[in-house]
Amino acid sequence: MYIFASTAWDFWKRLNETMFTSQKARGYCSGYRKTLFSVDGETAKWGTLDLKFEDIGYKERKRDQLYEFYYPEEGIDKLLEKMQTQGHKICSLALDMVGPKKKEEVVVATKGPCLKTLVFNMARNQTYGVHVFYRTTECTKKFLADLIFLDLVFRRIYPGGTHRGLHVSFHFASIYCHVKQWPLLDILLGDECMRWKWLDEDREEKIASYMAGLNEGRISSYGMVRNGERWYLKRKGIPECTEQDNPISTPSKSAEIKGDSEDFAFPGRYERR
C-alpha cells in the first residue's frame, strides 16, 4: 500500500483515511483495532506543522518521553558533521533514533522502539529526501505526536525553517488504527472524516456501542472530556471546559496547519452509519 501527500499534515490525514476505510487486504482486524502490513508513503514537502502535544490530548510529559527514547543528541552532532564532510558526494546518511533511555527498560510490555531510523539522501551538499523507518505505530494519536517530534528534530538539523521543503518518505512494517482515537480525528478534521466508511460492516454494531460508551462517559476518552453536546481536549488548569474556552479551530484545507491551534472542539456525533 502506498500513500502520496503534499505535506506531512496531509499525509497524516490520508494515512488515517486509508487505515479506517481500507479492507482487510494485507492486514488484520481484531475487535476495535485494525492493523495493516507493509505501508509506505511520501510527502512532496514537509510543510508547516504548528501543533503542540497538548493540542492532541497528551500531557507535557509526552515530549520528554519521546526525547528520552528517540532523540540521539550525539548521533545528530555526528550526522551534521558527516553532512559537511561527505554531503558533497552522493551518499545516504543514517541516523538511528536511539535516545538516552532504552524503551525496553522503561516500558515493560513494549516489543521494541517504534521509530527506528532516519536516512538522509545527499548529493552536492543538498538533501534530496529523508526516509523514516518504523517498526510499527498507531496511526492517529501516536503517529501525529511522532510528526510533532520529528518536526523538532528536523528544525535542529535544518535551522531557519528550511526543513519545510524536505521530501520525506515513510515506511511502516505495520501500522494500526483503533476506534478509541476517532474523537481526535473529529476534533482535527470535523465533517471531513464523517464521510469515511471505516472498519467492516459486521463490526458496526460494536463500534456504535463503543461510541455510545464514549458519549456517556462510560469509556475513557483518552485526554478528552464531554461537556453537553460537545467533546473537548482536557486543559490543565481549566476545571470545566466551555465553548468559549475551546472554540472550534479546524486546520486549513490547504493541507498545512496555519494560525493558532491551541484549542479544538467537535460535536459528539457517533450514530451508526
CATH number, residue 187: 3.30.572
Q: How much is the pLDDT for 264? A: 27
Domain membership of residue 78 (yes or no) is yes
Domain membership of residue 273 (yes or no) is no
**β-sheet bridge partners, residue 126:** 123
Instruction: Using alpha carbons, list the distances in angstroms from residue 49 to 95, 97, 113, 151.
Output: 22, 21, 24, 7
Q: How much is the pLDDT for 18? A: 87
Radius of gyration of the chain (CA): 19
Q: How much is the pLDDT for 136? A: 95
Q: What is the pTM of this model?
A: 0.79
Query: Which are the contacts of 260, defined by CB distance < 8 A and separation ≥ 6?
Result: 249
Query: Contact, 55 vs 136, CB < 8 A?
Result: no
pLDDT, averaged per 10 consecutive residues of the chain (273 residues), comes to 94 91 69 86 94 85 92 96 93 95 76 93 94 96 96 94 95 90 78 62 60 63 59 51 42 32 29 28
Domain range for 88: 2-267
Domain membership of residue 20 (yes or no) is yes
SS3 87: coil
Q: Which three cell numbers stand for residue 261?
A: 491551534
Q: Running DSSP on this structure, what letter comes out for residue 81?
A: H
Total domains present in the chain: 1
Query: Contact, 34 vs 27, CB < 8 A?
Result: yes
> Greatest CA separation found in the chain?
60
DSSP H helical ranges for the chain: 8-21, 61-70, 73-86, 103-106, 141-157, 182-189, 191-194, 204-215
Domain membership of residue 272 (yes or no) is no
